[in-house]
Structure 1
Amino acid sequence: MQWPQHSSELIGREPEMGALADSYQLAGESKPQAVIISGEAGLGKTRLVQEFQHGLPHEARVLVGQCVDLGPLATPYAPIVAILRALAADIGVAALMELAGPGGDALALLLPEAGVAGRPGPSPNRVLEAVSTVFEKASVSRPLVVVVEDLHWADDSTLAILRFILRAFNGGRFLLAMTYRSDDLHRGHPLKAFLAEAERGRYVKAVALARLDRGQVRQLMEAATEDAVDFEFVENVFARSDGIPFFVEELLGLGDCAAPGDLPSSLKDLLLARYERLEEPVQYFLRVLAAGGVSVRHSQAELAFDHPQEEFEASARAAQRARLIDVDGECYSFRHALVREAIHADLLPGERTRFHTRYAQALEAAGAIHRDAAEIAFHWDAANDVEKTFASSLAAMAQARANFAYSTAAKMGERALELWDRVIDPSVVAGIPQYRLMARTAAAHSLAGDGERSLAVIRLAAADPSATGTDRARLLAAQARYLGFNAKPGSDALLLEAIELTPPGSDDILRASLLNSLAARYMLEARLQQAVETSTAALSLSSSSGNAAEQSIAANLRGVSRINAGDIAGGRSDLEAAERLAQGDTQALLRFRVNYSDILNLLGLYSESIQVAEAGIVKARERGEERTSGAILSSNAVDPLFARGDWAGAQALLDRNLSLSPPSSFHAYLLRSRIWSTLWGGDVPGAEALFRQWQPLLRALAGVEMQSRLHLATLGAELAWAGGRLDAAWQEACFLLDPEFLPLPGYDLPLLAVAARVLAARRRAGARIDDDAGRLRAVLDRDSFWPTHPAWQALFDAELGGPGLDGGELAAWHRAGTFSAVLPAHLGPYIAWRTGQAEFASGRRSEAAATLSAAVEGAEGLGALLSARLARNFAAQAGLSLDGPKQRHGGDGLTERERQVLALVAGGLSNRQIGEQLFISAKTASVHVSAIMRKLGVSSRIEAAARALSGQPGKK
C-alpha cells in the first residue's frame, strides 16, 4: 500500500498561527512587529511560515531570505541580498534604489547589478541604515512581510542588520518573521546574544514550537493517509518520531512500514530511507546537490554534475517526485536540511573532494554579480586544496571588508593566517607580508567589535622582526588605537615609539597623524601643555604638506586643550580654524563638531552646544555613522539638553542611542547620562542598580580619560549622597585632592559643588571638615578663569556657608539662586529646597513654605523628582503645608503663586527672570502670566502691571 507523503493540514499549530496573525494585524496598523519562531529540526518552522503566507491578503508583499550553511564562514548578508533581489525583481532596481535614497551607494555593495558609481565611507552602519530605510519605505504603500529562515546559520553581518531593524524601525506596515533551529544553539553560539537582546524588544514576539502529542500525531497520520489508523501503528510511529512532524511524514512516506520491525532503527536511517530506495543515478545527483548546500542554483549544479548531462534532468525529476527536493525558480532545494546533511555526511572522501572542487570552479566561472568569494573559499576548503583555499580566503576577506562584513573579513583573515606556513610563497600570493595581513585582520576584528582579538592579533604583527621603520610605526599606532577603543592604558608609549620611527622627512603625512593621535591622548588625559605642544607640531607639519584634514584635527585638539588650560580666546580661534579647514572632509568636520559641542556645553553655552551637536548628528546619520560619531555627538547633545531644562528631549535622544548599542566608550558616555538622569529623576535604587551593572565599563574608561574620571567621581559621589552613604560619597568626591587629579575646569566645577555638598552633610553629621574645605577651595580658586566659575563658586559657598560650614547661611543660598539661569536646570529646584531649609532655620516659616512649594513645582515640571521628594520630606518634617496654592478671597481668582508672578511682572521682569526668582522654568512662568491675564481680563503685561500697581487687580 502506498501512503500519501504530505499532509495538506497543519496539525497542532493553531496558537502559533494565531500569534502570527495577531502580529500581522498590529503591523497593518503601522506598529512594526517581529516574530521569532524557534523549534527543533523537523518541527515545521518553515511549514508554519508558509501556511501563514498563504493566508495573507493579496496586498501583502512577502520577501523570503535563506541563511546559508557554510559553517563559521557563512556568506555575508546572504538572506538580505536574496530579499533585496526579490524586491528589485518586483518593483525594479531603479525603484529600489529610489527607496534607499542617500544610502543607495551603500546598498549597491550588496547588489552590484544596481551599478551605482562611488563608494560610501568606511562604515558598516551605512549598509544597516540603507536596508532599514528600504524596508521602512517599501512598507508604507503596502504591508511588507520579510521572512529570514534558519538564523542559526546567519553570519554576523546579517544579524547586525536584523538587530538594527529591530531597534531603529520607526513606522510602516512591516512584519519581520525569523526562524531558527533551537537544538543547534550550542554554548557560545553567536545567535544566543542576538536572541537574548531581540526577545526583550517591545514589538518582538517569541513563538516556540513544541513536539506533537500522541493525539496530534494521530491527526497528522489520518490527514496524510485520508483514513483511520490503528492504535499500534500510531504507537509505533509516535515512538519512532518522538512527535516531530517531519519524521512522522517521512515514516508515512515509506509506505510499507506499518509493522514495528519495518521502521528505521536510527535517525540517520530514517533520513536516508527514501534516498536509498532511489536508483543509483538519482542518488548520485542528490550527492552532488548535497555538496552544494540546502539550495543550489541550476547553473552551478549542472556544472558540478560530472556524469552524462542527459542523466541530470531525469534524476532531478525523480528526486522531486520522491519529495526529497523542491524546485524553486532557478534553484533546487532540499525539502529539509536534515536530509541534505545526512546525504552529505554519507559522501566518500573522493566524492567530497571532486564535488566541492567542481562547485568552487563553477562559482569562480560565474558572473561578477553572483560570484561569492566566501562560498568559493568554503568549497576549496572542503576539497582540501590548501593553495586555492588560501587565495580564495584572501579574496573573500577583501570582498567582505568592502561590503563592511567585518566579522567575515576577520574570519577569512584568520583562515589565511592559519594556512600561511602551508602555502608556497604566501607573501607572493597575498601580495603583502604576513604582518600586514595580521594588521588587516586585526582591523577587521576591531571594526567587528571584537576588541580583545584585535589587540591579540596586532600585538603579534608588531612583534614580527621583519616589520621595521614606518611599517612598524603603523602597527604600533594601530595597537595604540585599539587600546584606546578598549579603554586600556599604554597608548602613549606606543605612539611615542611610532613617532621616533617616523623622523621628519620620512613620511610627513604619517608623522602628522601620529602626532595628532598622541595629542588626542594627552588631551583626554588632561596633560594640556603636552597636548598643546604636540598638536602645534602636528599643525606645523600638516600645514607644510598641505594636508587640510590633519590641519583641522590638529587645530581642533589644540583649541580644546588651550581653552581647558586657560587661553579661552586663543582656543576658540583655533576651533574656528579647525571648522574652516574641515570643509570638504566629513570625518574631520564630525570630529570638530564632537569637540566643539562639548566645549560649548562646558562653557555654559547650552543652546549653541545643542545646535552644533544636532548638526553633526544629522550628518552622521546621513553617512550611516549613527552608532559611532552619531552616538558621541548625541551624548554631547544630551548633557546640554538636560542642563537647559529639556529633559524630555534628552531622554528621547538617550533612548534612541542606547538602543543602537554603540561602541563601548561611546556607550559609557550615554550610560553615565542614563544613570545620572535616573538618579535625579527620583529613582535612587534604580540608578544604583544601573551603576553596579555598568561600573566596570565606566571605571575602565575612567582609567584612560581624565574627563571620564571626573564624571565618574561626580556620579559616584551623588549616588552615595542620595543613598545616605556620606563617607562613600566623600571617597568619590575627594579625588579632587588626589595627586593623580589634573584640572579640567568644565568637569572640575560640578564635582567641586558636589564635594562641598557632601562635606557639609558630613559636618552636620558631626565630622571635622575644616582642612578638606580649605583644600577644595584652593582647587576652586585655580579654576577662576572659567566663564561659569562665579555660578559654581556661589553654589560652593552656599553649600559650605555659615560659621559651622554646614550650609545654613540664608544669604549664600539667595546668592546661589541668582545664578539659576547659568547652572544646569536641575540645580534650580535643588537650590530652592536648600533655600527653604535655610529660611525655616531662620524662623521664616511662610517664606520657607513658599520656597519649598516652588522647589516642588519646578522639580516636577522639569522631571527632577529627587528634589521634589527632598523638598516634600523636609516640609513634612518641619510641619509646613505644601498642599498647593490657596485662592485669594478677593474675587479675582488669582492664586498665591500667581500673585507672586504678578508682583514680578509689575517690577518689569521677563519670564526668564521671573523663573530665576521663583525657581521655575521660563515656560512655567509664561503659563502663569497667561493665566493672570485671562483672569484679570487684560490683553497685555503692561495692563496687568498697572492693575497690580493700582492695588486693585480685580477691578475692570
Structure 2
Amino acid sequence: MRAVVSPALVGRQADLDALHDAYADSITGSSRAVLVGGEAGIGKTRLVDEFLRALPEQAIVLRGQSVDLDRDAPPFAPILSALRSLAQEVGEQALFDASGPAADALALLLPDLSLSASMTEGPIRGSAERLYDAVAELLENVAAVRPVVLVIEDLHWVDQASLGLLRFLIRVIEDSRLLIVLTFRSDELGRGSAMRAWLPELDRNRRVTRLELARLDRRQVREMATAILDGTPDEDELAQVYLRTDGVPFFVEELVCCSGVQSLDGFPDTLRDILLARYDQLADTTQRMLRLIAAGGVRVEHELLIAVCDESPDAIDAAASEAIAASVLVVDDTAYAFRHALVREAIHDQLLPGERVRFHTRYAQALLDQSGAGAADATAVSYHWMAAHNVREAFIASIAAYQQARSAYAHATSANMGERAIELWDQVPDAAQLAGRSKVAMLGDTSYVLRNAGESERAIALIDEAIAQCDPSDVQVYALLLRNKASYLANIGQTGSIELLREALLVLEGEPRSVLRANVLGELAARLMLLARFDEAIEMADGAFVEATAVDNRPRMSVASNIRGFSRLAGGDVEAGLADLALAGELAVGNDSARLRYWVNQSDALHLIGRYEEAVRTAEEGAERARQRGVERTSGAVLLSNVVSPLYALGQTARADEMLDRALELDAPIGFSANLRRLKVQSVLWSGDRPLAERLLRDWRGSLRLQQRMDSQCMLGVALVSGELALARGDTAEAWQHASVLIDPEHRSFPAYDLPLIALAARVVAVARTTGVALPDASGEPSPPDELERAVRSAFSLAERWPTASGYSAIVDAELGGPRGTGTDVALWERAVSVVRAAVAPAQLAPYAGFRLAEALANAGDRAGARTWAQTAREWAEAIGLGLIVDSVTELERRVGSISGDHRGDTPDDAGSLENLLTERERQVLDLIAHGLSNGKIAEQLFISPKTASVHVSNILRKTGATTRTEAAYLAHNTSH
C-alpha cells in the first residue's frame, strides 16, 4: 500500500479561486457563505483543506463536523465543536461577553464550560431564536476583531437544530467579516431532506456562492495518477482506473495507491473492494479496532476509545499507528477520524451481529460513565442502545434525550426522541414510571414539540392518538388536548378548530372556573373574529373575560378584552373597540404572550381606521419584542405584516418592500405568513410586474386557499389582488368572479376590507358595460349591469360609516358615473381626486384617480387637459413606486398622442419606409386596424370621433397604396416584422 494521497489538487482551481474570492469579500465587512456540494469522494474536504491552508494567520478558523448517527445526531453537534474551538481561541470569558445579553442561553448550549454553571443558576428566558441571536452576536463581535471562517462539513447528516441555526446566521449576518463554508453530499439529499428544501433559499441569496464539484475527466485522472506515482502511469492501467472510478478523486487515489497496480489482475473489482483495500491488508487486531471505531461514528475521541476498547493503551496506540500509516485513520485534534466517511461506512458494514451488540453497548455505557447520566449526550446514548437492541435502556435514554433537546430548543431532535419513546413504550413494562408521565401525556407533549418543530401534520397525528387513548372523564387533560389540536389545525390552515373548541367547552361544562376554560373561550372568540362573525366573537370574549376575572388571571383577561375590542371595532363600533383594546394593553403588562397579541390587534386596528403612522410605531414595537422573545416566525411575522401594510398606505414603498422581503425570508407557517404573501403579490403588481405577480399568486394560491377558509381578512385580501390581476390582463369575467364575493348571501360585512373590494367591483361593472361582457349575479345567472351596480352600492352602504370610507365613496361614484355608467364623468373624477388627496386614504388612490381623470378628459375631447393630468398622475405614481399606474399613463399618452403628434408633415424622409410615410397618429390607427378594430372602436381607443378615425383610415389607404383595410393590416404586419 502507498500511504500517500495526491500531492496536487487536480481540477479544482476555479473552485479554490471562488473560495478565496468569497474570503476576500468577507474581510471587507460583507459576510459571505459558500456551499460546496458533490457526491461522496468527490473531494469536498480536500478542497476546503487546501483553502484553509492558504489563509493568513489572522483568520480564526472554526470547524464543525456533522455526526453520522442516522436520525440520532445530537442537537447542535457541529456548532458545539466550532464554539468550543472558539472558546479555546479567545477564552471563555471573552466568548460569553461577546454573545451579548443572551449569554445565558449560550451557556445552556455549552454546559461543559466552567463559566456556564454560574450563568444558568437562575431562571433563563429562552427560545431557539434567542439562542440563535446569542451565536450571531458572538460571531459578529469576534469577527469585528479578527476575520472568522466557520466550516461545517457533511450537512447531509446535520441535525435540524444546527440547520436552523445556520440558516439564521446566513440570513441575518450581512455586514461582518465572516465566511461560512458548508459541505454536503448532493447525492444523498432525499425527497424529504431538510437540506434539500433549504437549497432554493440559498440559491436566491446574493451573498451565497454554490459550488458543485464535478468528476475528473480522463486527462485530469492522468494528472492525478502521475502526481501520486511521481511518474507516468501505464495507459492500460490508467484506462482501468478511469473506467472503474468514473473520475471520482477519492476512488482514483485509492485505486492508484493499491498494491499490484503493475498488474491489471490486482485491481479491486468493486467500489466496496476499493474502499476496503487498505483495511484488508492491516493486522487482525487493527481491523478489529477499526470496526470498534466505526461503531462510534466517523470521529471518536481518544479517551472514549480507551473506555470502550478491551486492549491495552499500548496495543491501541500500535493499532492506531498502523491504521494512520495506511491512511485509513487520521488524527483530528484529540480524536481519531476515518480519512473518508465512505471507508467508515464500508468497515461498519463488516461488523458481525455479536460485535454490533457488544460495541454499541460499550459506547452507550462509556458515554454514561464519562459524563454521568444527567450530563451525557443522551441522543448518542439512545442511538447506541437501539443499535445494541437494548429496549429498556434505549427507552430511558430516549426520554432523557427528549428532555435535553427540548431544553436546548432543538425541537426536531426532541420530537424524534419523543416519538422513539412512544414506539418503545409498550415494550417496557414500567414505561410510565420511567418516563414520569402517562403515555397520553407523552403523546400530547411530543405533539406539542412537533408543532414547534414545524411538523404540524405529524403533531396532529400524535394528538389524535392521545385523544383516542385519553379517558374523557379526565376532564382537564381531555379538554387541553382538544384545545391544542384546534391550535395545530389553525396553524396549517385546516378547518375544524371551532368545532374542537366547542367540544372542549362541553367537556368543561359544570367544572369549576379555570384558566383552561378562559383559554378555550378566548381562542374560540379569536376563531370567530377571524371569520368576521363579530357578534358571536364578542359574546365568547365576554364569557372569557368573566371566567378569567373569576380566577384572577390578568393575561387571559387581556386576551379576552383584546378580541372583544377588535371585534367591536371591525364590526363598526370603533370607539368601544379602541377602549377595549386599551384595556387589553393595560392588563397585558408583565406577560409577553398577552402583550404580543395586544400589539398585533392594536396595530391592525390603527391601520384599518387610517391612523397609519401610529400603526407603524405600534407594530414595530411589537415586532422587536417578538424577535427578542424568539417568536419572530409566528407573532413576529404577523406584526411585520402590520408594519408593512400601513407603510404602503403612507406611500413609503421602498421601505415597505425591503421589510416585506425580510419578513418573507422567515418562512413562517401559513397561519402567520398569509398576509405577507398577499402583500407581496399586491406590491409586485403595483410595481408594474404583472407576470411575476401572476406567478407568485399561482405558486401560493394553494396555501392561501387553505387560510382563506378560516380567515376573512385573508379571503377578502386575496379576492382583491386576484381581481386586480385579472382586470390588468383584461379578463373582466374573472375579475368579477373575485370581486363578487361582496354580493354572496353568506358574506359577512367587514367594512375595512370590503371598501377596496367595492371600489374594484364598481370598476369591473363599468368595464363590463363598456365591453359588453355579461356578469353573473349571486345565483350565477347573467344580470343586467344596473342590477349589479345596485348590489355594489348596497354593499357600500354597509361600510359607508367606516373612517376611511369617504375616499372610496368618491372613487365608486366616479367609476359608475357618466352617461352610460362607464366612469367617464370628468366632474366626478375631479371630485374623487380632491377627496382622496384630502381624506384618510391609502397613497395609491390619488395616482389612480388622477389617471382616471386624465382618461375622462381625453374621452371628453380635452386632450390638453388629459395630457396635464396624465403627467400629474405619472409624478404622483413615480413618487411612490406605483409602476402599474405609470405604465397606464404611458399607454394613455400614446393613445391621446403627443402635443405635436398630429401636426407632422406628410412628406416622408424615406418614401420606402412606412415608419416615415405615416404620422404618429396614423401609425396608431394602423396598429388598431391590424388588430381588427372598427372605426368606432378605434375612435374609443384613441379618444377621437368616429369621423376623425375614418379620415385617418382614408389617409392610410392613400399613402400606403392599399385598396382595403385588410391589405393595410397586411402591410402593417410585414413592416413590424
TM-score, normalized by the shorter chain, greater than 0.5: yes
Aligned residue identity for 1:455: I
Aligned-partner residue type, residue 646 of structure 2: P
What is the correspondence of 1:191-340 to structure 2 with a 5 Å cutoff?
191-340=195-344
Q: 1:751 aligns with which of 747, 757, 760?
A: 757
Task: Give unmatched runs, 5+ long, in structure 1.
Answer: 884-956
- Paired position in structure 2 for 1:24: 23
What secondary structure is seen at the aligned counterpart in 1 of 2:351? coil
The answer for the alignment partner of 1:539 in structure 2 is 545
The residue matched to 2:144 in structure 1 has which SS?
A: helix
Work out the CA distance in 2 between the residues paired with 1:420 and 1:588: 37
Out of 552-561 and 425-434, give the one that drifted further.
425-434
Q: Secondary structure at the match of 1:379?
A: helix
Q: 1:877 aligns with which of 885, 889, 895?
A: 895
Q: Which residue is equivalent to 2:842?
A: 824
Which residue of structure 2 aligns with residue 900 of structure 1?
none
User: 1:120 Cα deviation (Å)?
Assistant: 5.3
**Contact 1:304–1:359 (Cα < 8 Å) also in 2:** yes
Q: Please identify, of 749-758 and 6-15, the stretch whose mean Cα deviation from structure 2 is larger.
A: 6-15
What CA distance in whole angstroms lies between the structure 2 residues aligned with 1:285 and 1:208?
A: 35
* Correspondence 1:74 to 2:68: no
Cα distance per residue 1:410-436 (max 9 Å; x no partner) = 221221222122221322222222222
2:874 match? 856
Match of 1:40 in 2: 39
- The answer to which of 85-94 and 650-659 deviates more is 85-94
1:349 CA drift (Å): 1.0
Q: For the Cα contact (< 8 Å) 1:272–1:343, is it kept in 2?
A: yes
Alignment CA distance shift 1:503-1:484 (3 Å): same
Residues 4 and 225, structure 1, Cα contact 8 Å, conserved in 2: no
Secondary structure at the residue paired with 1:775?
helix
Amino acid at match of 2:813: D
| One-letter amino acid of the structure 1 residue matched with residue 818 of structure 2 | G
Q: Is the 8 A contact 1:41 1:338 kept in 2?
A: yes
Give CA-to-partner distance per residue, 1:67-119, whole Å, 9 cap, x none.
Answer: 00011222221111111111111112222222221332332332123332356
Residue 152 of structure 1 corresponds to 156
Unaligned runs of 5+ in 2: 775-783, 902-977
What is the Cα deviation at residue 843 of structure 1? 4.2
Residue pair 1:531, 1:561 contacting (<8 A) in 2 also: yes
Amino acid at match of 2:404: Q
Whichever residue aligns with residue 196 of structure 1, its letter is P
Q: Please name the residue that 1:163 is paired with.
A: 167
Residues 708 and 3 (structure 1 numbering): CA distance in 2 closer, same or farther, change over 3 Å?
closer
Partners of 2:555 and 2:587 within 8 A in 1: yes
Q: Secondary structure at the match of 1:141?
A: coil
Q: CA deviation at 1:670?
A: 0.8
Structure 2 counterpart of 1:394: 399
Equivalent residue, structure 1, for 2:688: 682
3-state SS of the aligned residue for 1:102? helix
Q: Distance in 2 between matches of 1:815 and 1:17?
A: 66
Task: Tell me which amino acid in the other structure corresponds to 1:317.
Answer: S
Superposed, which structure 2 residues align to 1:394-413 within 5 Å?
Answer: 394-413=399-418
**Offset from partner CA, 1:701-736 (integer Å, 9 cap, x none):** 111111111111111111111111111111111101
Q: Distance in 2 between matches of 1:225 and 1:589?
A: 71
Distance 2:245 2:626 in 1: 54
Query: What displacement does 1:803 show?
Result: 4.5
Q: Could you list the per-position Cα deviations for residues 623-654 of structure 1 after superposition, in whole angstroms to 9, with x for gaps in the alignment?
A: 23322222111101111101001001100101
CA distance in 1, matches of 2:899, 2:460: 62
Once residues 249 and 564 of structure 1 are traced to their aligned partners in structure 2, the CA distance between those partners, rounded to angstroms, is 71
Paired residue for 2:380, among 375, 382, 388?
A: 375
- Residue 907 (structure 2) aligns with: none
**Match runs of 1:434-453 below 5 Å:** 434-453=439-458
Normalised to the residue count of structure 1, the TM-score between the two structures is 0.89
Q: Distance in 1 between matches of 2:900 and 2:434?
A: 81
User: Is 1:833–2:868 an aligned residue pair?
Assistant: no
Q: Which moved more, 1:330-339 or 1:813-822?
A: 813-822
* Aligned counterparts of 1:693 and 1:224: Cα–Cα separation in 2: 52
Cα offset for 1:620?
Answer: 1.8
Does the aligned pair in 1 maintain the 2:559–2:584 contact within 8 Å?
yes
Partners of 1:181 and 1:334 lie apart in 2 by 17
Alignment RMSD (CA, Å)? 2.0
Match of 1:575 in 2: 581
Question: Is the contact between residue 830 and residue 867 of structure 1 (CA under 8 Å) also seen in structure 2?
Answer: yes
1:781 is aligned to: 797
* Segment of structure 1 superposing worse, 810-819 or 362-371: 362-371
- 1:304: how far off? 0.9
User: 2:709 maps to which residue?
Assistant: 703
- Report the CA distance between 1:276 and its aligned residue: 2.5
- TM-score, normalised to structure 2, is 0.87
Structure 1's 119 and 831: CA in aligned 2 closer, same or farther, altered over 3 A? Answer: farther
CA distance in 2, matches of 1:239, 1:723: 56
- Aligned residue for 1:215, secondary structure, equals helix
1:427-480 deviations in whole A, cap 9, x for unaligned? 222222222211122222211112222222211211224353111101111110
Aligned to 2:785: 769
Match of 1:742 in 2: 748
CA distance 1:795–1:284, change in 2 (3 Å): same
Deviates more, 1:97-106 or 1:485-494: 97-106
8 Å CA contact retained: 2:237, 2:261? no
TM-fit CA distance, 1:555: 0.9
Once the two structures are superposed, the pairs formed by residues 471-870 of structure 1 within 5 Å of their partners are 471-503=477-509, 505-506=511-512, 508-766=514-772, 768-817=784-833, 818-821=835-838, 822-870=840-888
For the Cα contact (< 8 Å) 1:875–1:881, is it kept in 2? no
Kindly indicate whether the alpha-carbon contact (under 8 Å) linking 2:105 and 2:126 is maintained by their aligned counterparts in 1.
Answer: no
CA drift of 1:741 comes to: 0.8
CA contact (8 A) 1:526 1:744 kept: yes
Cα drift, residue 829 of structure 1: 0.5
| Cα offset, 1:244, TM superposition | 2.7
User: Which has the larger displacement, 181-190 or 378-387?
Assistant: 181-190
The Cα shift of 1:848 comes to: 2.5
- Structure 1 residue 674, shift from structure 2 partner: 0.8
Give yes or no for contact 1:120–1:126 (8 Å, CA) kept in 2: no
- 1:119–1:258 CA distance, 2 compared to 1 (3 A): farther
- In structure 2, what is the Cα distance between the partners aligned to 1:249 and 1:29? 38
**CA deviation string 1:657-692 (max 9, x = no partner):** 112212222222111111101111111222112111
Q: Quick one: structure 1 residues 270 and 684, their matched pair in 2 at CA, closer, same or farther if it must change by over 3 Å?
A: closer
Distance in structure 2 (CA, Å) of the matches to 1:313 and 1:732: 76
The residue type paired with residue 337 of structure 1 is A
Matched, 1:466 2:471: yes
CA 1:433–1:297 in structure 2 vs 1: closer, same or farther (change >3 Å)?
same
The separation in 1 between residues aligned to 2:586 and 2:671, in whole angstroms, is 28
User: Could you list the per-position Cα deviations for residues 466-508 of structure 1 after superposition, in whole angstroms to 9, with x for gaps in the alignment?
Assistant: 3531111011111100110011111111001111222365361
Contact 1:829 1:855 (8 Å CA) reproduced: yes
Amino acid across the alignment from 2:822: D
In the alignment, the residues of structure 2 paired with residue 875 and residue 190 of structure 1 have an alpha-carbon distance, to the nearest angstrom, of 52
Change (3 A) 1:225 1:879: closer
The alpha-carbon deviation at position 217 of structure 1 amounts to 2.8
Contact 2:440 2:470 in 1 (8 A): no
SS of the counterpart of 2:34?
Answer: strand
Please say if residues 753 and 792 of structure 1, whose CA atoms lie closer than 8 Å, have aligned partners that are also in contact.
yes
Which range moves more in the overlay, 436-445 or 766-775? 766-775
Query: In the TM superposition, what whole-angstrom CA distance separates every residue of 1:359-381 from its partner, at most 9, and x where no partner exists?
Result: 11111123379621111110000
Letter in structure 2 aligned against 1:877: R
SS of equivalent to 1:29 = coil
The answer to whether the aligner puts 1:426 opposite 2:426 as a matched pair is no
**Are the aligned partners of 2:492 and 2:669 in contact in 1 as well (CA < 8 Å)?**
no
Q: 1:238 to 1:763 in 2, by over 3 A?
A: closer
Distance in 1, Cα, partners of 2:147 & 2:88: 17
- Counting matched residue pairs gives 882
User: What percent of counterpart residues are identical?
Assistant: 43
